[in-house]
Amino acid sequence: MDKRSPSDLYALAAAISLLFVAILNNAWVMLAVSGIGLVAGILLARLPAPQGREGTLGSLRRAGVFGLVGFAVAAVLAVIILLR
């Protein structure tokens, strides 16, 4: 079995949680899940980069960055829905 990186696990959790939020269609849940996801992504980006990848966003890889962007977009949409 191959070993998955923290970024891969974060991306998988982001995809599942964003699908969950889309199914529920609740702005408060969307805002809460997005906040937790953004904090987790920022903490993951602060981890030291693996050998040979210095100068990148820490441990985040491409899939993790897409997860972070997805949580940011969901948070903005939740705020827009709540302000209506």
Kindly report, residue by residue over 31-62, the tens digit of the pLDDT: 999 999 999 888 888 777 666 665 566 667 77
**If you count them, how many residues does the chain have?**
84
Contact 49, 2 (CB under 8 A): no
pTM here is 0.81
**Which is higher by pLDDT, 52 or 19?**
19
pLDDT score at 4: 79
* Rounded mean pLDDT, 62-73: 87
List, in sequence order, every beta strand (DSSP E) within the chain.
none
